[in-house]
Amino acid sequence: MRASDIIVTKGGPGSIAEAVISGLPILISGFLPHEEGNVSFVVEGGMGSYCKDPEALRRHLSLWLSSPIELADMARASHRAGRPRASLDIARDILDILESHTACSGPECDTEAGRP
């Protein structure tokens, strides 16, 4: 994706997440019922558009490619929405939770549960 200027994709969360991390304008060509919120996220966030019809998709692509300012605005909006360190942040949060709930062995502990 880093070598692309635009992504045309179904509204799946994985593709959209990769696109925003890469700062790409997103043109969604379809989505499954449970992905409808992803379309709203992209369109309302100024990161791209939804075009079901192939002719409308072609027109959007043509317009975007002839409007570098609009394309750059969508790319910036997409980049702002990206959370490239999200997986690392989640892993750190899990470790913090685990460390705060380690087994207790002192007299202040409930010996059966191993917790304070």
pLDDT of 114 strictly over 50: no
pLDDT at 84: 73
pLDDT at 113: 47
CA-wise closest residue to 46 among 23, 63, 65? 23
Q: What is the DSSP letter of 115?
A: B
pLDDT at 109: 55
Pair 10, 30: CB distance under 8 Å: yes
Specify the residue for token string 């989640």.
90
Domain CATH code at residue 74: 3.40.50.2000
pLDDT at 90: 87
42 and 75 together in one domain: yes
pLDDT at 23: 92
CA-wise closest residue to 62 among 15, 6, 1? 6
How many CA atoms are closer than 13 Å to the CA of 20, on its beta-carbon side?
A: 23
Structural tokens at position 87: 């997986």
Range of the domain at 98: 85-116
Average pLDDT over residues 16-34: 94
18 and 38 together in one domain: yes
pLDDT of 115 strictly over 60: no
Q: What digits encode the pLDDT tens for the residues 72-113?
A: 999 999 999 887 787 788 888 888 888 777 655 555 655 554
pTM of the model: 0.73
68 and 55 together in one domain: yes
